[in-house]
Structures are given as C-alpha cells and as structure tokens.
Amino acid sequence: GDFPIETETLVVGAGPGGYVAAIRAAQLGQKVTIVEKGNLGGVCLNVGCIPSKALISAGHRYEIATHSADMGIIGEKVTVDFQKVQEWKASVVKKLTSGVEGLLKGNKVEIVRGEAYFVDANTVRVMTENSAQTYKFKNAIIATGSRPIELPGFKFSKRVLDSTGALNLPEIPKSMVVIGGGYIGTELGTAYANFGTKITILEGADEILSGFEKQMSAVVKRRLKKKGVDVFTNALAKGVEEREDGVTVTFEVKGETKTIDAEYVLVTVGRRPNTEELGLEQLGIKMTERGLIEIDKQCRTSVPNIYAIGDIVQGPPLAHKASYEGKIAAEAIAGHPSEIDYLAIPAVVFSDPECASVGYFEKQAIEEGIDVITAKFPFGANGRALALNDAEGFLKLVLTKEDGVIIGAQIVGPNASDMIAELGLAIEAGMTAEDIAMTIHAHPTLGEIAMEAAEVAMGTPIHIL
C-alpha cells in the first residue's frame, strides 16, 4: 500500500483547459496538483492548434512564394525541405510545452505524470507503468479532452490517418483524400494543397465548414478550387482498400459510386470525449448520451466538489473555450461568483482565407426571435487587403434593429482570426455600431473593415455606395 498524498485542488489533464485551471487555482492560493498521462499542453499544443497552424503557415509561405507572379515576384526555384519544416514545427511545440511546464512550476503547481482514475469523490489513483500513487483532494477539475472518432470501415493505420498522423508525415504526399470538410479537414487539406499535394475533400453535408454561413464557405471553396483541390459535397465515404503504397477510397455521391486512389486518406469526422476510463460512473457523475459531462454555470458536475471543463463538456470543442472554463472552475473553487457566459466565444477556421465568427449568426438570431439588421463590407473595397493581394471575402455584422447593439459578427478573409477579437470585445461590452464607427481605425489596415461595416449599418458608408 502507499501513503496517500494530500492536495487541495487536483486537476486531471494538462491541456489548455487543465493547465490554465491549475495556474488560476494556484494564483488564488490553492495547493494544486496536476496529473497528465501524456504531454503537457494536451492536444492543442502537441497535436492540435499549434502544430496545425505551424504547418499551415509554412504551406502558406510556400504558396505565396510560388504564386505571386501577378505582383512581379517570380519564385520558380523555391523548394521545400519538409523534414526541416517538421523540425521547425516541433521546435515551436517544444517552446510552448516547456513554457507551460515553466509556468506550472513557477506557480508551484505539483506536476504528476501518470493516468488518473477516480476511486471516490475525494480520491484518485495515479498509475504509471510500474507504480501507483493515491492522492486525496478537496476539489477536482476534470479536463481529459477528446480524441478522433474512427469511421466504420476506416481503421486508422499507416495509410488511414487521423489528424495526428496527418500532422506528422515525413514527406509531402503526392495525393491525399480528406474525409470530413469540417475545420480540421479543411485546414490540413489546405496546408498540404499549398505544399503541392493533390487533395480531394469528401464532405457528407451539402457544404464544407457547415458551421458557418454558405456565403463564407463559398469563398473558401473557391480558393480551394484555385489550389486544385477537388471538393465533393453530399459525398458518403463507403470504404477503403489499403495497399503498401497507398489507398483506394470508395464513396457515393448523387447515387453514383466512385473511387479515388491516393497515397493517404485522412479521416476527420469529429471527436469523442475522454470520459470512459476515469471511474466516473461509480461516482455517479451525470453524463449526456454522447458521453459529455453535465455541468452547471460554474463548471460543477453533479458531484459538487468535482468540476469538468473543455472538450468533455457541452459547447464548441475549442482550446480558448477550455481555458475560459478552466478559469471559471478555479475561481468557483476559490469561492468567487464567476459563471460561464458563452455569448462571445469566437470560432475560427485557419482556412485560406480564414473564417471567423463570434456571437450570433443572423439565422440564429432570427430563430430566437431577435429583431436584427445586418451590415456587410467587402475586403475588396479595403486598401490594405488590395495591397496584400488578398482581397476576397467580407465582414458581416449582426445588430439589434432597435438600438444597433452588436450581437454577432462573421468574417471571411485574410486575418479574420485576429480581426474577430475586436468584434468579440464589442459584443462583450455591449457596444453599438456607432461605437465602432466612431473608433478611429488606423489606415490602411484590415481593421478598417469593421469600422466601415459599422458605417454601413448606420447608412453612411464612405467607401462603398
């Protein structure tokens, strides 16, 4: 037997949910222990957000270097050393994960390596390969994240890849089929298309990026086509035949059965919460049918001293949402009145061009019976966008008709990922179109597009008729 180690707040999982929760709990005076069975930083830093953005930016640079002849830049001799790209990507990940370790240690959080299993509402067992240790806690925060769903008939293998496999390829594939045109499939498909891979996207719904408006995904789809990507919508992947050097994917579209040969197939059809092997059933923690943990507004589960955050609870499975909930849970444990409010959680796709949304979509507002008006401004009427040679897309504001309060915004265009922050702030602060229109935006910047859209809402735009 082992002597239990006592702690106050025990966090399970060191992804963007767990490590942020641990730091905030420590800042608020708790004795904190964090348990991680894999790598610090979780999916996001190791095999998600960060490495995917590194590959995307490398691919984007290559594409720009080789496709800027209309600007007078001729880059025919540009080559890619993909091994070096992978090394660079790994160095970015390493910098961030060791940064997280430094932050945890600097905040006096005890880091425990191993797999946590709940024995009762105040006890976990942490298993390593050849030992086990019991921890007693007052409060726990579960942040065990999610993993890719396997599609029946597409068992992950050397040729049938999940997102992690696709991020870690040793060389640029000649061809790849991507099953699932959600954000992960679109992002990785775009990255490899930019490196020259022949990409085919198979999407079951009638549009890729189906969480966004059709007019937004249409802009992305147009750009994908320009890169030589084939996009099949309403396409049902049926099966895969694997060979030593590649795959043949069978799919059905408009009642017709088709096949494609490729070096790899990437399956990105969603993620499943890691809530099964934690001992949660014996604690009586309430879960939904999908295996998500039910929480209240302070991220508290049905067992009052146990909290849950991130991909294992309802809402969009995004890193910044996990971190946000992590702070709320830690503050709730410290007795603060913090509560979650999902109104202004942004969602971003790092496609080319990028897509971003915060707050309400027009359709959603109408469905909820909110009287709204919308205002749009195109990137094509913005000087900076033209000077960047990247002027496709638009910014759309959703405002209440009665008082012009901004309740939603969508952007498709270059730097949408950064531009959405201003609109999130506007929603959070209850600002009106006039507030944004009256804010002086530097010229020439993409930021002016938000100001101009606000002026469209007010009926007095300067740069469009």
- Select the residue interacting with ligand FAD from 42, 165, 185, 353 (CB under 6 A): 42
Q: Does 246 bind ligand FAD (CB under 6 A)?
A: no
Minimum CB distance to ligand FAD, residue 278 (Å): 5
Q: Does 146 bind ligand FAD (CB under 6 A)?
A: yes
Whether the Cβ atoms of residue 428 and residue 366 lie closer than 8 Å to each other = no
- Ligand-binding annotation for 146, yes or no, is yes
- Select the residue interacting with ligand FAD from 10, 11, 15, 455 (CB under 6 A): 15
Q: What are phi and psi of 140, to 5 degrees?
A: -130, 150
- Select the residue interacting with ligand FAD from 24, 48, 212, 358 (CB under 6 A): 48
Q: Does 317 bind ligand FAD (CB under 6 A)?
A: yes
Catalytic position from the list 60, 67, 441, 443: 443
Q: Does 143 bind ligand FAD (CB under 6 A)?
A: yes
Q: Nearest 5°: CA angle at 443, between 440 and 447?
A: 70
How many chain residues are in contact with ligand FAD, going by CB under 6 A?
A: 35
Q: Does 346 bind ligand FAD (CB under 6 A)?
A: no
Minimum CB distance to ligand FAD, residue 47 (Å): 6
Tokens found for residue 348: 């971003």
Minimum CB distance to ligand FAD, residue 435 (Å): 27
- Ligand-binding annotation for 144, yes or no, is yes
Minimum CB distance to ligand FAD, residue 399 (Å): 26
| Beta pairing, strands 347-349 & 9-12 | unpaired
Minimum CB distance to ligand FAD, residue 325 (Å): 8
Q: Does 11 bind ligand FAD (CB under 6 A)?
A: no
Q: Does 35 bind ligand FAD (CB under 6 A)?
A: yes
Helix axes 82-106, 18-27, angle to 10 degrees: 30
Whether the Cβ atoms of residue 269 and residue 107 lie closer than 8 Å to each other = no
Q: What are phi and psi of 357, to 5 degrees?
A: -145, 145
What is the rounded distance in angstroms from the CA atom of residue 116 to the CA atom of residue 12? 7
Which one of 33-41, 282-290, 362-370, 399-407 is the stretch in contact with ligand FAD (CB under 6 A)? Answer: 33-41
- Ligand-binding annotation for 13, yes or no, is no
- Select the residue interacting with ligand FAD from 86, 139, 163, 186 (CB under 6 A): 163
- Ligand-binding annotation for 187, yes or no, is yes
Residues 58-117 that bind ligand FAD (CB under 6 A): 115-116
Supply the DSSP symbol for 20.
H
Helix axes 416-428, 448-458, angle to 10 degrees: 50
Which one of 65-73, 315-323, 419-427, 446-454 is the stretch in contact with ligand FAD (CB under 6 A)? Answer: 315-323
Tokens found for residue 233: 């919508």
Residues 266-305 that bind ligand FAD (CB under 6 A): 274, 278
Whether the Cβ atoms of residue 302 and residue 284 lie closer than 8 Å to each other = yes
Minimum CB distance to ligand FAD, residue 433 (Å): 28
Handedness of CA 220, 226, 232, 234 (dihedral sign): positive
Residues 318-337 that bind ligand FAD (CB under 6 A): 318-320, 322
- Select the residue interacting with ligand FAD from 7, 9, 52, 97 (CB under 6 A): 52
What is the rounded distance in angstroms from the CA atom of residue 49 to the CA atom of residue 42? 10
Distances (CA, A) of 461 to 262, 385, 405, 445, 450: 49, 18, 18, 17, 11
What is the rounded distance in angstroms from the CA atom of residue 365 to the CA atom of residue 451? 22
Position closest to ligand FAD via CB: 145
Distances (CA, A) of 437 to 356, 375, 414: 20, 12, 21
- Dihedral of the CA atoms 280, 283, 286, 289 (nearest 10)? 40
Whether the Cβ atoms of residue 178 and residue 202 lie closer than 8 Å to each other = yes
Burial zone of 87 (CB within 10 Å; 0-12 exposed, 13-18 middle, 19+ buried): exposed
Task: For residue 336, indicate whether it is catalytic.
Answer: no
- Ligand-binding annotation for 276, yes or no, is no
Handedness of CA 162, 357, 16, 286 (dihedral sign): negative
Positions at the binding site for NAD(+): 180-187, 203, 270
Q: Which residues are catalytic?
A: 443
Footprint of ligand FAD (CB under 6 A): 12-18, 35-38, 42-44, 48-49, 52, 115-116, 143-146, 163, 184, 274, 278, 310-311, 317-320, 322, 350
Positions at the binding site for FAD: 53, 144-146, 311
Positions at the binding site: 53, 144-146, 180-187, 203, 270, 311
